[in-house]
């Protein structure tokens, strides 16, 4: 055993490093205690991060991702325009997305943002401030909408931002009268050429990983398709020097009727052009039947594809995104439980672990 305190530290460190399967170069004279201790401490920290995150009751399943990943898009632009001083853009176009025989109104809107500093990335939202005042005579508050275009905009000139907006319509539970949502009606009725007050951008939950080899599972109901349209355009329609998508993208889209499949033609064109990288699965509740003869909801489509999804979801570089109607998560858990159960894994624990690893993303409203 060494008598000199520094030699003793060295000896201890060698033993620690040996236990960790590392060799430390002790010929380098340490400048300070930190110089010596740091490599071992870092090793310990990374070992800790590598501890099985979602072992759950994973008897047979492989462990999911080993390391805690940094949140994607840490440098996303945020709140360039605030409600007190919004950007005033112009509506360039406003087109119906629901085809003959479908229910409700959903519009694809393109706004000109060329006159200001507004920029955004895929997966973010903007705020819209509707004209007029509320019941208390105060100016309406902003409503958030997921951006449906890539950062380059639908015209690929970095001068526009697009939204996919459903007009809210419901019966007042007391009077039974039809009520139309304030902001969604303002947007759905907007004439090209009109001014539009925009705030933001906001949101980091739904950002796309920078890694072009990542796999991306997208699960949408209704206007929840908006951020996924942006992802798919970035992945397959645009050309970038620093992002050439090579992973698997799989979109599950749920709606009531075929004419309610938003962006159907564009999605199917992409699927035909990129069959090896893009899978498209619809769940059309009022037209398709599940294996038990009931309505086909998204959870049934997920359960049907349980094996393939499970294989994919276990890969460290697979991210799952859910967007659309509040409450849809329950059905997705049901569908994914089918996959997890087959592999003797507790789905809830597994999902929580994926969330920690920043590869389970939910935005419902």
Instruction: Enumerate the active-site residues.
Output: 145-146, 323, 363, 365
Supply the minimum distance, in Å, between the C-beta of residue 212 and ligand FAD: 25
In the list 94, 124, 149, 184, the residue contacting ligand FAD (rule: CB under 6 A) is 184
Q: Nearest to residue 322, comparing CAs of 314, 311, 331?
A: 331
Residue 325 marked in a binding site: yes
For the stretch 115-118, contacts whose Cβ atoms lie closer than 8 Å and that sit 24 or more positions apart, written own/partner, are 115/89, 116/81, 116/87, 116/89, 117/80, 117/87, 118/80, 118/81, 118/87, 118/89, 118/161, 118/198, 118/200, 118/201
Integer Cα distance of 49 and 43 in angstroms: 10
CA 274 to chain centroid, in Å, comes to: 21
Crossing angle of helices 347-356 and 328-342, rounded to 10°: 110
For β-strands 87-96 and 143-146, DSSP reports them as: unpaired
314 touches 64 (CB < 8 A): yes
Contact region with ligand FAD (CB under 6 A), list: 116-124, 175-183, 242-250, 303-311: 175-183
Tell me whether residue 146 or residue 299 sits nearer to ligand FAD (CB atom).
146
Among 161, 226, 303, 309, binds ligand FAD (CB under 6 A): 226
CA distances from 18 to 28, 30, 40, 47, 215 (A): 18, 19, 10, 14, 37
- How far apart are CB 319 and ligand FAD at their closest, in Å? 18
Point out the residue whose Cβ comes nearest to ligand FAD. 181
Query: 264: which 2 tokens?
Result: 């159907």
296 touching ligand FAD, by CB under 6 A: no
3-class SS string, 255-306: ECCHHHCCCHHHHHHHHHHCCCCEEEEEEECCCCECCCCCECCHHHHHHHCH
Q: Which is nearer to ligand FAD, 220 or 312 (CB)?
A: 220
Of 44-52, 111-119, 176-184, 298-306, which part binds ligand FAD (CB under 6 A)?
Answer: 176-184
Binding mask 134-173 for ligand FAD (x = CB under 6 A): ---------xxxx-----------------xxx-x-x--x
CA nearest to 60, candidates 311, 332, 356 = 311
Regarding 79 and contact with ligand FAD (CB under 6 A), the answer is: no
CA distance 29 to 7: 12
CB of 364 to ligand FAD, least distance (A): 8
User: Does the protein bind ligand FAD through residue 125 (CB under 6 A)?
Assistant: yes
Residues between 269 and 288 with contacts to ligand FAD, criterion CB under 6 A: none
Please say which residue, 12 or 169, places its beta carbon nearer to ligand FAD.
169
Nearer CB in complex with ligand FAD: 83/181 = 181
Binding site for ligand FAD (CB under 6 A): 125, 143-146, 164-166, 168, 170, 173, 181-185, 223, 226, 363, 365
Binding site per annotation, positions? 146, 166, 223, 285-286, 295, 324-325, 363
Binding site per annotation, positions for NADP(+)? 146, 166, 223, 285-286, 295, 324-325, 363
């Amino acid at each position: 055993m060494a008598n000199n305190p520094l030699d003793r530290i060295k000896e201890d460190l060698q033993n620690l490093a040996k236990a960790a399967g590392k060799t430390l170069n002790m010929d380098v004279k340490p400048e300070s205690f930190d110089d010596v201790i740091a490599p071992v401490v870092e090793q310990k920290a990374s070992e800790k991060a590598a501890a099985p995150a979602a072992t759950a009751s994973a008897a047979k399943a492989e462990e999911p991702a080993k390391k805690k990943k940094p949140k994607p898009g840490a440098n996303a632009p945020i709140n360039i325009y605030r409600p007190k001083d919004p950007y005033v853009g112009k509506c360039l176009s406003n087109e119906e997305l629901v085809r003959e025989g479908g229910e409700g109104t959903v519009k694809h809107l393109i706004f000109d943002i060329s006159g200001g500093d507004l920029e955004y990335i895929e997966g973010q939202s903007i705020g819209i401030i509707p004209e007029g005042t509320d019941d208390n005579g105060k100016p309406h508050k902003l409503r958030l909408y997921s951006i449906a275009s890539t950062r380059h905009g639908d015209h690929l000139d970095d001068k526009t931002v697009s939204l996919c907006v459903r007009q809210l319509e419901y019966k007042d539970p007391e009077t039974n009268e039809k009520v139309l949502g304030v902001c969604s009606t303002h947007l759905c009725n907007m004439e090209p050429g009109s001014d539009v007050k925009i705030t933001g951008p906001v949101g980091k939950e739904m950002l796309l990983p920078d890694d072009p080899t990542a796999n991306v599972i997208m699960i949408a109901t209704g206007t929840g398709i908006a951020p996924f349209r942006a992802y798919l355009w970035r992945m397959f329609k645009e050309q970038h020097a620093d992002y050439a998508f090579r992973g698997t993208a799989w979109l599950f889209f749920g709606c009531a009727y075929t004419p309610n499949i938003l962006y159907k033609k564009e999605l199917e064109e992409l699927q035909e052009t990129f069959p090896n990288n893009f899978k498209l699965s619809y769940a059309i509740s009022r037209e398709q039947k599940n294996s038990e003869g009931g309505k086909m909801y998204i959870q049934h489509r997920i359960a049907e594809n349980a094996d393939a999804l499970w294989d994919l979801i276990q890969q460290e570089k697979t991210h799952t995104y859910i967007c659309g109607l509040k409450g849809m998560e329950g059905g997705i858990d049901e569908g994914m439980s089918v996959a997890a159960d087959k592999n003797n894994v507790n789905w809830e624990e597994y999902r929580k672990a994926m969330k920690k690893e920043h590869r389970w993303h939910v935005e419902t409203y």
